[in-house]
Amino acid sequence: MVPSRKPGQKAPVVTLRAVAEHLGLTPGTVSAVLNDSPSARSIPQSTKNRIHAAAKELDYRPNFFARTLRNKRTFTIGVIAEEIGDSYGGMVISGIEEYLRKKDYFFFVVAHRHDPDLLSRYAQMLSQRGVEGIITVDTTVHDEPTLPMVAVAGHKKVKGVTNIILDHHRAALLALNYLKDLSHERVAFMKGNPISSDSKDRWDAICQVAQQIGMKIDPDLTVQIDIDDATPKLGYPFAKQLLARKKPFTALFAYNDISAIGAIRAFQEQGLRVPQDVSVIGFDDIAGAAFNTPSLTTVRQPLSRMGQVAAQSLLERIEGKKEYPSEIAIEPELVVRESTAKAPKS
């Protein structure tokens, strides 16, 4: 029976045993359902529904320390990101948090900023603090991990790691065919910084698709990002480089949305109108893409969803529910907004 309280008195702590007594079930049955234990698979769904409804009604909150001692687990994972405050990593981490919160898991986040020594040290520190698994974001993993690991935007095949990747070939096909349909023949490209884990695969896919559809990639209309910046400054100076070459182009396919937004600013400063004089396509569909002026056409990768898939895959592996896949591919989507239009006539 759940104890009552007098006015002004603190709410009593509702124990798992009290929930069990309220339902006329054993504490073991209630515990199995609320902790999503493997033994709960044999419990009827109607009973599971009753248990969850009662726990909510009675405001049952599990004792984390008791749960940890009982199961000899920490219910904690580590997240290693290249950058915490950037739009890309922030959306992925938001998806991770949303899934873990529903499963009553806690997580630590650290940022390595592409420092290999820091990356190695953080992985060791997280392990020492008892995390049960690790998710990496925009981080290249080279060595087999000692803990279960999922890599968002991981492209290197490493034993023990599940890579959550975007189908970059499909992404390139969507963007380049769209530009071709708009009669763009002179297309400029902004390649990603090699330290970004997506950079090589994305560029390789663009080159393959361009050849496949008969679109020429002109080296004079290609610039290489070589700085690490989480602001539109990532694309601004390289768009200036393109303009300084004095070679005309009617569209730019930027490495990501941040670099595309920086490029738009550079074009506008030069007196070019976007999209009337030059169209611009980004990549990612970050939160600010729809609110830029003009709003940005982009290849959307569902970043929050990728974070959720990463968290789900890691927990399934930690809890032994299934064998881990080496790769999970996510489908991209072309989002057409105001920054693209038909190629201007010569």
Strand partners, 251: 187, 279
SS3 of 137, please?
Answer: strand
Beta-carbon contacts of residue 21 (< 8 Å; ≥ 6 apart): 1
Alpha-carbon distance of 163 to 197, in angstroms, equals: 11
Domains of the chain, earliest start first: 16-70 (1.10.260.40), 75-166+303-330 (3.40.50.2300), 168-301 (3.40.50.2300)
Total Cβ atoms within 10 A of residue 243: 17
Residue 206 near residue 253, CB atoms below 8 Å = yes
Positive or negative torsion for Cα 131, 36, 99, 309:
positive
Predicted TM-score (pTM) of this structure:
0.76
Along the chain (346 residues), what's the average pLDDT of each consecutive run of 10 residues? 50 80 90 79 91 89 61 86 86 95 91 81 88 91 89 89 94 98 98 91 97 96 92 94 97 97 97 98 94 97 95 92 85 97 90
Per-residue model confidence (pLDDT) at position 93: 95
Residue in 162, 142, 150 with CA at minimum distance from that of residue 80: 150
- For residue 31, what are its two tokens? 């515990």
Residue 148 near residue 318, CB atoms below 8 Å = yes
Per-residue model confidence (pLDDT) at position 193: 92
Per-residue model confidence (pLDDT) at position 4: 53
Q: How does 126-143 read in b/e, with b if 16+ C-beta sit within 10 Å? A: beeeebbbbbbbbbbbee
Total Cβ atoms within 10 A of residue 27: 14
Alpha-carbon distance of 180 to 186, in angstroms, equals: 10
- For residue 258, what are its two tokens? 């941040």
